[in-house]
Structure 1
Amino acid sequence: MSPLDSSLLDGVPLAIRPLATESLWGQQPSCFHFSGEKPHLEAYFDAYFKYYAKQCNLIACHHNGEYSSVETHGDIMTIAQLLRKSLPRAEVRKRMSDFLKSANNTQPGEHENSINLVARLMLMVRIGKVPHEGSKGRYLNWEEGDLREFVYNCFAPPVTRRHDRIKLEKSFNALNLQRIGGIKIWWTENLADHLRMVDDDKGIFIFHHASFLEHQLHNSMYPPRFIEETLRTLKLLFPRYNPATKKWYEKAAAKSACGLDKRLIWIGNLNAEERQVDNFSYWHDRLVILKEVYDEARPSTLSQFWHDRRNGPQWYTFWVALWVLVLTILAIFLAVVQCIEGGMQVYIAMRP
């Protein structure tokens, strides 16, 4: 029996990885440089297949499979091939009845849930609402037409915000967003939520699956250069040659329960020319909003004051003034101690 014939209820066997990556995305040239420890491409998708298993459990295995019409990994791969052919959703739904074993016993909506599941696995975009899914993120509602056209429309570059005074400095990274700007990072597996601010601009979603993105550079299901630009936003926020950011992310990955992609901190960094806002189209507006919130943030704790060196003269002035204040208080304290000590000596000397 082929690994793809195994039931979704039995989990995700390691053997399906090479078959799944090709079925879901086609033969994609990869930019990975393989080490001796992980000589196969599929070994780099640990984070992705945790997502794969999570989505299958959420939709296909919910209530022992009663929520979806797919039963095996092979069913998922077959539907993925139909979706890659740019067939209308209605046509895909019609053809599913020809190969799904449970097609005759399906309830209304089961095929729809199955299509949404496969679309999620192909694109890492939360497509279709799942009532029992608990998440802060949003979902995209795809009801008709082909999947490629839907994705192109969803990620069309909406450059509407001015950026005359916006500069993406070298210090503008994910670590400083948190420790200087006080912006909480919410790690997301939904590409549509990437760089979207939440909680009254106190939090931001960041898509962390860098290994997945690196393998999608030539995937025609996404708009031209969309994946490449998304990778550049990650290089901007997680520069490879920043030891502090690297150490912070590795600690976050070790503590995270959602399985952060360890590849994220190794994908590279941007030079001054590449950091220009004009170079971003798809993520332009979200980057501008994020930078505006970051620039407007003012430190409120000593830790934030210490790390916030966006205004050099102001930083030095603050810390010089603080040290002068500390030394003044210390001098006053020592003077008081000396006065008390002198008074005690006089008192002892005058005692009979």
Structure 2
Amino acid sequence: MADFPIFPFHNGQEQQPLGCKVQHYIKNAFWPQSKSSITEYGPYFKYLEWAISVSTWPEDIFDRDSFAVKTYSDLSRIVSCMRLNSDCDRASVLEKLRDEFPRLSDDKISRSMDLTLRLWLCIYARSKDLRVGASLANMTEIEWQDSTSLKRLAQDCFPVYSGLVPSQIGNIDPAFTVQNLRKLCRIKVHWTGNLLDHLSYDSSTKILRLFPHKIFLISHWESCEVLPRAFVSETIQTLDLLFPIGEEDTAKYLKQEGQTFYRTSFRNPIRATDFGEFRYWGKRLEELYDVFNQQPKTVLQMWYDRRNPLQWWTFWLAALIVLLTFTFGIISSYTGFQQMVIAERAYRLSIWQACSQPNPPAEFCNT
């Protein structure tokens, strides 16, 4: 296992899925206390394969020699060092890693630290002067300064939101789900492997980015304290909020999208009912909730908008009455026109009959 390469699909080689033994090795290296089944990590390992592949692109600039890490054993050593020294600043961690990777440059070690963050913590952080692969569109990055510890970086990435005021704290509409956001607001969901982009919404493109790796979050809650436990738990809660367990439409949509986190439970999955429960994601949820509460603009949106049943029935009954009135008006007009045509034809027929008599009336039959 120690010699199993981390870049097995570079330089024209076809990318192959991670084998079962490799998956177990990574899981135990990243989350040694996790009790979850390896089968639950399927979507996460697909993300891991993708994140590794783009780290060596474009190939004329980045390749496997740009990194100190060459095997999954190397990756495990970096994770272990970063976990044990999560309270130390980046420069100190780099110094400790020099002992693990002698005769390698600081740039290679530093770039490997950034790659490890992407794989282990799903945070796209980088040092000031180095990059890992090409800049990815719509992928937020944060700089990891030499004087900042890993725990401090996590706190800076996900600060506690204190903008809620009493008037904003209230019950969340049970209809506030991804399915209704898609139907009522025409929002498009894009899945992201970057925690920094979770719940980010672009109003110009109507794209909502969501982090779907629930098993990743559960594993960090069980095994690692680099990410604050309260933050991890709350992130799971946002998924339970937007994808309510037991809702048939949600289950069908996730199956269609190939997402399996719906079947992954975490403690007692009670759906949040108040924005006051969200200390980290409150701001983004509020912004999304404002979009959700906007009035529908199309007939299709109005059809799906059943948040207020009385209003929905009133509107569509009124629309039905207008439609019936318009329909009967057209029918009545058409019937009246046909009656006029028939009456004219009957009049002409009666004139013709009268003029066919031996002594026709001159006032009607003069030509």
Q: State the TM bucket, normalised to the shorter chain.
A: 0.7 to 0.9
Q: What displacement does 1:105 show?
A: 6.1
Q: Paired residue for 1:138? A: 140
Q: Paired residue for 1:33? A: none
Quick one: which amino acid aligns to residue 23 of structure 2?
R
In 2, distance between residues paired with 1:290 and 1:163? 19
Question: Aligned match of 1:203 in 196, 204, 207?
Answer: 207
Gaps of 5+ in 2: 10-15, 353-367
Moved more, 313-322 or 227-236: 313-322
SS in 1 for 2:280: coil
Quick one: which amino acid aligns to residue 277 of structure 1?
F
Q: 1:157 to 1:72 in 2, by over 3 A?
A: same
In 2, distance between residues paired with 1:113 and 1:163? 45
Question: Aligned match of 2:32 in 26, 34, 37?
Answer: 26
Q: What displacement does 1:172 show?
A: 1.0
Q: Do the aligned partners of 2:57 and 2:134 also contact (CA within 8 Å) in 1?
A: no
Per-residue deviation, residues 243-297 of structure 1 (Å, max 9, x unmatched): 122222322x14xxxxxx312365489657x4222222121222222222322x1
Q: What displacement does 1:99 show?
A: 4.1
Q: Do the aligned partners of 1:60 and 1:69 also contact (CA within 8 Å) in 2?
A: no
Question: Aligned match of 2:39 in 22, 37, 43?
Answer: 43
Q: What displacement does 1:201 show?
A: 8.5
Question: Aligned match of 2:328 in 314, 323, 331?
Answer: 331
Q: Paired residue for 1:90? A: 91
Q: Does 1:310 align with 2:307?
A: yes
Per-residue deviation, residues 49-90 of structure 1 (Å, max 9, x unmatched): 111111111225752424323222221111111111125322
Gaps of 5+ in 1: 31-40, 255-260
Q: Paired residue for 1:35? A: none
Question: Aligned match of 1:118 in 116, 119, 122?
Answer: 116
Q: What displacement does 1:205 show?
A: 1.8
Quick one: which amino acid aligns to residue 328 of structure 2?
A
Quick one: which amino acid aligns to residue 211 of structure 2?
F
Q: Paired residue for 1:249? A: 254
* 1:197-276 alignment runs, 5 A limit: 197-200=201-204, 202-218=206-222, 219-251=224-256, 253-254=257-258, 261-264=259-262, 267=265, 274-276=272-274
Q: Do the aligned partners of 1:60 and 1:114 also contact (CA within 8 Å) in 2?
A: no
SS in 1 for 2:143: coil
Moved more, 116-125 or 217-226: 217-226
Q: Does 1:191 align with 2:219?
A: no
Question: Aligned match of 1:283 in 260, 281, 284?
Answer: 281
Q: Paired residue for 1:299? A: 296
Q: Does 1:169 align with 2:173?
A: yes
SS in 2 for 1:186: strand
Q: Do the aligned partners of 1:236 and 1:270 also contact (CA within 8 Å) in 2?
A: no
In 2, distance between residues paired with 1:90 and 1:312? 59
SS in 1 for 2:210: strand
SS in 2 for 1:28: coil
In 1, distance between residues paired with 2:110 and 2:153? 16
Q: Do the aligned partners of 1:299 and 1:308 also contact (CA within 8 Å) in 2?
A: yes
SS in 1 for 2:125: coil
The structure number with the bigger radius of gyration is 2
Q: Does 1:59 align with 2:55?
A: yes
SS in 2 for 1:216: helix
In 2, distance between residues paired with 1:292 and 1:242? 23
Q: Do the aligned partners of 1:183 and 1:202 also contact (CA within 8 Å) in 2?
A: yes
Identity percentage over the alignment?
24
Runs of 4+ that moved beyond 4 A: 268-272, 346-349
Q: What displacement does 1:142 show?
A: 1.0
Quick one: which amino acid aligns to residue 45 of structure 2?
F
SS in 1 for 2:117: helix
SS in 2 for 1:275: coil
In 2, distance between residues paired with 1:185 and 1:298? 20
Q: What displacement does 1:235 show?
A: 0.6
In 1, distance between residues paired with 2:70 and 2:270? 48
Quick one: which amino acid aligns to residue 65 of structure 1?
R
Q: TM-score, normalised by structure 2?
A: 0.80
In 1, distance between residues paired with 2:64 and 2:192? 25
SS in 1 for 2:186: coil
Q: Paired residue for 1:149? A: 152
SS in 1 for 2:78: helix
SS in 2 for 1:82: helix
Q: TM-score, normalised by structure 1?
A: 0.83
Quick one: which amino acid aligns to residue 21 of structure 1?
K
